[in-house]
A and B are shown apart, each in its own frame.
Chain A
Amino acid sequence: MTDQLTAVVVDDEKLARQYMLEMLAAFPDIRVVAECADGFAAVKAVNEHRPQLLFLDIQMPRLDGFEVLELVETDNLCVVFVTAFDQYAVRAFDSHAVDYLLKPFSKERLGAAIEKVKRHAGSGLPAIHELRKVVRKDAEYLTRVVVKDGPTIQVIPCADIVCITAEDDYVNIRSTEGSVLKHQSLAGLEESLDPDKFVRIHRCSMVNIERLDRIELLARDKYVAVLQDGTELRISRSGHQRLKELLG
């Protein structure tokens, strides 16, 4: 069959995967190429099999569903979230080009999701951090940042981050463990970090306030931030204003 869609099923609960597979058996145009029990396995499977369709649980060990999406090539990927979250939290999904299934779901509902996916196939994903904000009301800001560094996936707790600088299309995240590049804009990352901890000190850099050692005056109105690991970063005028506000 030419119009068969390949799919990957991701859920940490075995019974939930089993249920999904059983339901999908009724749809011959869906071919499941892999099932995964955690976020790492999901990233690996998606990058390896390049499926067109991903059934993704949100709460999972190691990496959650959103983090998985940050780490995989999403250009030709359609994502259907499968969650037990209540309707209010998930309503905002409606406005985006993905679908969601509430556990437990019926075969008809799954069919509708597949139809929707087929119509939207190839139209890309909405901003992941927008979705995250809707679902994760209790944890508005990231507590960790995930980065794919070649074949390995790094999980960096936000508290360990020293500073973040923009480098072309990437951000350079410097943590206590070293530096790593992530394909993201500084502004995008800034939005999902706690503004009480991370402050944008310049157009192309932000620092973890906990890791700031001192602020030095170079010349009139020219300041430099010295971090605990010795790094020196220029502070812009508006950056200095923000720092002053945050430090009180």
Chain B
Amino acid sequence: MARNFHTSANIAYYLAWLPLTGLVDVLLILQGIGVVPALIVGFSFSLPMAVVGGSARYMCRVLPLRRDRLLQVLPPLGGVTFLISGTWTGLFVIISRALAWLPPGDLMDIAGFLFLVSALSIDFSLVFHYLMIAMEEAQEARQRAEEAKVLSREAELRALRAQLNPHFLFNSLNSVAALTATDPAAAREMVLRMSSFFRSTLAAGRQEVFTLGEELALLRNYLDIEQVRFGERLVVREEVDASLHSLKWPPLLLQPLVENAVKHGVSPSADPVTVDIRALRDGEAAVIRVCNGRDPEARSTGGTGIGLSSSRERLSRFFGDAATMTVEAEDRMFCVTIRIDMEKLK
């Protein structure tokens, strides 16, 4: 693709030289030489210039045009223009005199013009190449942005697949196996909840727009399943401002936090532990908070650092600097608080 771009840019470049060659021809014809010699002479003046100008591309690469560096870039460019035009005009005059294309007097008359035309055309080459480089860069930037988008989407999908925690799945299935004999209705209920949870987890990754309300529904589903496993050891408290339901939300951002609350709060404790989920308004901010109690005896069940940092990353990718996430880890309590400045979202 980049190669095609270069080829077409080169064609455009040499085509653009045709009018300049025409200008030289007109100049020569006005000097009173015949059309055919003027065309031949004009062409042999312009072609080497075009070739030299074509290599200006490398010069433009070396001296990128940047506003803050104009003073460093412009003088060398001017110098180069002057040098190349002067040298070539001089050379051309000498050659054409030696070949006796034109009478010497006429030559001296048009030398000034030739110099001007060649300076102009060198500058034209430079401008042309600078434009081409700018276009190429813009295209590359677009391509990079595309790639980044694809990458982040893939990362998202990977994260979503990881949500289907096998430990959770098999423990839940074990509960179902236990319930089938003693309480078939509860077993059926459990299977339905699990289906609904897995279905919505899978769907969350494909949805164009996902809301906090949907995330909270998914969490309720998840906690209902864990409730069957842990019974009275798990106490769920939920407080949600209904006006936040429509808030656009990165899918499954809270789910791993709640899963951690169960894994590090409820699972290692023999006594009942509360998992507290809140989504409330605080002035112009939305405050979403996941807390769990901890058994101080059961500390050090292993780190959650990696999970939290990936949540933080997803949060900032989605909300930019409108969102902050804070973690409070105390002896008896673990809280993750996400604060979203609604003003900044608008």
Contact = CB atoms under 8 A, between A and B. Distances in A.
Contacts of B181: 22
Given A18-B178, A38-B270, A155 B167 contact: no
Given A15-B175, A15-B178, 9 more contacts: A13-B174, A13-B229, A18-B182, A59-B268, A60-B268, A61-B295, A85-B167, A103-B173, A157-B300
Shortest Cβ-Cβ A-B pairs, 10 listed? A19-B178, A84-B170, A103-B174, A104-B177, A15-B178, A143-B300, A104-B174, A61-B270, A15-B175, A38-B270
Interface of A: 12-16, 18-19, 22, 37-38, 59-62, 84-86, 102-104, 138-139, 143-144, 155, 157-158
A53 B269 CA distance: 26
Given A61-B295, A62-B298, A15 B174 contact: yes
Contact of B302 (A16, A22, A85, A138): A138
B297 A103 contact: no
Contacts of A38: 270
Interface in B164-203: 166-167, 170-171, 173-179, 181-182
A84 B267 contact: no
Contacts of B92: none
Contacts of B300: 143-144, 157-158
Contacts of A61: 267-270, 295, 298
A104 B173 CA distance: 6
B167 A84 contact: yes
| Residue from B178, B179, B181, B228 having most chain A Cβ neighbours under 10 A | B178
Size bracket, chain B contacts: 20 to 34
Given A18-B178, A22-B178, A103 B299 contact: no
A155 B170 contact: no
Contacts of B301: 143
A22 to B, nearest CB: 6
Interface in B32-47: none
B48 interface: no
A86 B171 CA distance: 11
A165 B231 CA distance: 44
B82 interface: no
B259 to A, nearest CB: 14
A28 B295 CA distance: 39
A15 B179 CA distance: 7
B230 interface: yes
A143 B230 contact: no
Nearest to B271: A61
A16 B270 contact: no
Interface in B296-340: 297-302
A84 B298 contact: no
Contacts of A37: 270
A91 to B, nearest CB: 15
Nearest to A16: B174
B270 A84 contact: no
Contact of A84 (B171, B176, B179, B302): B171
Nearest to A103: B174
Contacts of A59: 267-268
